[in-house]
Amino acid sequence: MVLQNWINGQFVEAHGSGRLEVISPVTEAVVAVSPISDSHDVDAAYAAAEAARLAWRRTTPGQRQQMLLAWADAIEGAADELVEAQYRNTGQPRDAIRAEEVMTGADHVRFFAGAARTLGGVASGEYMEGHTSQVRREPIGVVGQVTPWNYPIMMAIWKLAPALAAGNTVVIKPSDTTPESTLVLVRLTKGILPDGVVNLVLGDASTGALLTSHRTPGLVAITGSVRAGLAVAEAAAGNLARAHLELGGKAPAVVFSGVDVEATAEGIVGAAFFNAGQDCTAVTRVLVAREIHDDVVAALVAAAQALVVGNVEDAYYGPMNNRVHFTKVMEILAALPEHAVVATGGNRIGEQGFYIEPTIVTGVKQDDSIVQTETFGPVITVQAFDSEAEAVTLANGVDYALAASVWTRDVAQAARLAADIDAGCVWINTHIPLVAEMPHGGFKHSGYGKDLSVYGLEDYTRIKHVMTATEAS
pTM over 0.85: yes
User: Mean pLDDT across the stretch 290-316?
Assistant: 96
What is the pLDDT, as a whole number, of residue 27?
A: 97
Confidence check: pLDDT of 245 > 80:
yes
Please report the sign of the dihedral spanned by the C-alpha atoms of residue 327, residue 332, residue 336, residue 340. negative
Confidence category of residue 157, pLDDT binned at 50, 70, 90: very high
CB 46 within 8 A of CB 217: yes
Rounded distance between C-alpha atoms, residue 104 and residue 424, angstroms: 21
| Catalytic choice (100, 101, 180, 280) | 280
Question: Catalytic site residue 425?
Answer: no
What is the pLDDT, as a whole number, of residue 124?
A: 84
Supply φ then ψ for residue 283, to 5 degrees.
-60, 130
Q: Taking each helix axis from N to C terminus, what angle separates 61-77 and 79-90, rounded to the nearest 10 degrees?
A: 70
Please compute, for residue 124, the number of CA atoms within 13 A of its CA located in the half-sphere on the CB side: 10
Rounded distance between C-alpha atoms, residue 288 and residue 258, angstroms: 11
Per residue in 45-91, pLDDT (tens digit) is 999 999 999 999 999 999 999 999 999 999 999 999 999 999 999 99
Confidence category of residue 473, pLDDT binned at 50, 70, 90: low
Q: Percent of the chain at pLDDT above 70? A: 100
| Catalytic choice (100, 101, 180, 246) | 246
Question: Catalytic site residue 246?
Answer: yes
Supply φ then ψ for residue 286, to 5 degrees.
-100, 120
Query: Which of 121-130, 169-178, 222-231 is the least confident region?
Result: 121-130
What is the pLDDT, as a whole number, of residue 409?
A: 98
CB 235 within 8 A of CB 146: no
Give me the residues paired with residue 405 across strands. 253, 427
Q: What's the mean per-residue pLDDT of the chain?
A: 97
CB-based contacts of 287: which residues, under 8 Å, 6+ apart? 252, 253, 254, 255, 383, 384, 385, 391, 394, 395
Per residue in 321-373, pLDDT (tens digit) is 999 999 999 999 999 999 999 999 999 999 999 999 999 999 999 999 999 99
What is the pLDDT, as a whole number, of residue 469?
A: 95
Q: Count CB neighbours of 350 within 10 A.
A: 11
Which region holds residue 353: left if phi is over 0, alpha if psi is between -120 and 50, else beta? left
Per residue in 8-32, pLDDT (tens digit) is 999 999 999 999 999 999 999 999 9
Confidence category of residue 291, pLDDT binned at 50, 70, 90: very high
